[in-house]
A = this chain, B = another copy of it.
Amino acid sequence: MSSVNLTALKASAEDLERRYAKFSDARLSLDMTRGKPCPEQLDLANGLLTVLGSDYRAADGTDCRNYGGLDGLPESKALFAAFMEASPKEVLLGDNSSLALMHDTVARALSHGVPGGDGPWSRSPVKFLCPVPGYDRHFAICEHFGVEMVNVDLYEDGPDMDRIEHLAASDPAVKGMWVVPKYANPSGATCSARVVERLAAMRTAAKDFRILWDNAYAHHHLTSSPPALASLLDACKAAGNADRVLTYGSTSKVSFAGAGIAVMAASEANVAWMRRHRSRSTIGPDKLNELRHVRFFRDMDGVRAHMEKHAAIIRPKFDRVSSILRRELGDTGLGTFTEPLGGYFVSLDTMDGCAKAVVQMAADIGVKLTEAGATFPYGRDPRDRNIRIAPTLPNLADIETAMQVVAVCVKRVSLKKLAG
């Protein structure tokens, strides 16, 4: 962050108050909180609604209306194996929520343990490494189960690997970590090949250490030349640590957010482990919905073509957020923000100690932002500076207004703080 030009800021104070009052008078009701697709994005997949017609049979003749099959149809496993860059033997399909697969991974590791371990994790205290800022629903799972979370900084090329390696190697209570490896929520960071390699090869004090690799935005590019992400599953296999990683994905932001398909890809031992647990807990996933997805997308070319249509809709929204933040905050030293190459979020860092006040001030005049702190374990941002912005759902005019409000609030709060 460049140094603050306090003189310039003070000179603009009156203007700021005028702008704030104008927004206040406008009685806004804008919501930038949720990483939800907009209706135009959902429309792209409307073919899913009718693609099945009355043909309910899988390629092998399976009647998808009936019971049977615990981890997915052969053709959907083939499609989602390609989706996850794994082999069909390494994938297992879930219901509509990859979060559920991650939750169940943690729950089952705690209650029963994982392959290569010594039984239930819950027998002794468990810690997870949490790259920050990160995804609140990952942290909520840990908090729910009493798993202690340890913050680790997330850089542009992935988590602080020196610290990860140190913590993983020195503390046997460190049983796992969360990573959103591509277009991280909220910073947009993508793990470099070197980070992937170090994660795969590092020494861990816990022999049953697990990386929960939430590749939620694997195919969600905003640019035509997306950054590469190496396969952590392949890297782990190469390093002799095949069981270290479980990877997750879904079509929530590909097809329909409420009615997509979730998938886990991992070593065959880990997949067998999850399958065994699922054999106790479910009749199996919805095969008709799998069939809809296979018929609609056909293959990864279909998925990629579809994702380009998504990008065409949301890229202008991200561009608008960037242009306003650049114009308003660019040379002020009051905030830094990401300009992601994919994913669903923009991460804005204010000066330390300002985020909560900015979010509150914006809310006061009708602009809802994700709660400050939400991107950190326990909802506590130690520097109180991170704000997550979700540009996909609102239209451009609303984004324009909301981001101006955010900028005005950042400046007002900063000025107050600096004037102290």
Partner of A282, one of B66, B103, B283: B103
**Complex interface: chain B residues within 8 A of A107 (CB):** 107, 111, 281
Q: How many whole Å from A57's CB to the nearest CB in chain B?
A: 11
Query: Would you call B66 and A42 a contact (CB within 8 A)?
Result: yes
Partner of A67, one of B39, B46, B64, B252: B252
**Complex interface: chain B residues within 8 A of A66 (CB):** 36-37, 39, 42, 256-258
Q: How many whole Å from A5's CB to the nearest CB in chain B?
A: 41
Query: Would you call A103 and B42 a contact (CB within 8 A)?
Result: no
Query: Would you call B282 and A99 a contact (CB within 8 A)?
Result: yes
Query: Would you call A281 and B95 a contact (CB within 8 A)?
Result: no
| Closest A-B pairs by Cβ, 8 of them | A103-B281, A65-B256, A259-B288, A67-B257, A42-B65, A97-B283, A144-B280, A97-B282
- Would you list which residues of chain A between 33 and 89 have a CB under 8 Å from chain B? 34, 36-37, 39, 42, 45-46, 49-50, 52-54, 56, 63-69
Q: Is A140 an interface residue (CB 8 A)?
A: yes
Q: Is A366 an interface residue (CB 8 A)?
A: no
Query: Would you call A96 and B95 a contact (CB within 8 A)?
Result: yes
Given contacts A36-B68, A42-B66, A103-B281, could you give 9 more A-B pairs where the C-beta distance is less than 8 Å? Answer: A37-B66, A46-B56, A65-B258, A96-B283, A96-B286, A97-B284, A100-B281, A258-B283, A289-B289
Which residues of A line the B interface, CB within 8 A? Answer: 34, 36-37, 39, 42, 45-46, 49-50, 52-54, 56, 63-69, 95-97, 99-100, 103-104, 107, 110-112, 122, 137, 140-141, 144-145, 252, 256-259, 277, 280-289
Q: How many whole Å from A234's CB to the nearest CB in chain B?
A: 29
- Nearest-neighbor residue (CB-CB) of A120 within chain B: B122
**Complex interface: chain B residues within 8 A of A103 (CB):** 280-282
Question: CA separation between A184 and B110, bound complex, in Å?
Answer: 34
Question: What are some 13 contacts across the A-B interface (CB < 8 A)?
Answer: A37-B66, A42-B66, A45-B65, A46-B54, A67-B252, A95-B282, A99-B282, A107-B281, A111-B111, A144-B280, A256-B288, A258-B284, A286-B286
Question: CA separation between A69 and B259, bound complex, in Å?
Answer: 12
Query: Would you call B65 and A259 a contact (CB within 8 A)?
Result: yes
Question: CA separation between A103 and B111, bound complex, in Å?
Answer: 13
**Complex interface: chain B residues within 8 A of A39 (CB):** 63, 66
Q: How many whole Å from A340's CB to the nearest CB in chain B?
A: 20
Question: CA separation between A97 and B67, bound complex, in Å?
Answer: 10
Interface centre among A45, A95, A112, A141 (most CB of B within 10 A): A95
From known contacts A53-B50, A145-B111, A288-B259, infer whether A36 and B280 are also in contact, taking CB-CB under 8 Å: no
Question: CA separation between A390 and B187, bound complex, in Å?
Answer: 55
Q: How many whole Å from A268's CB to the nearest CB in chain B?
A: 21
Q: How many whole Å from A370's CB to the nearest CB in chain B?
A: 14
Question: CA separation between A280 and B256, bound complex, in Å?
Answer: 20
**Complex interface: chain B residues within 8 A of A104 (CB):** 281
Question: CA separation between A99 and B256, bound complex, in Å?
Answer: 25
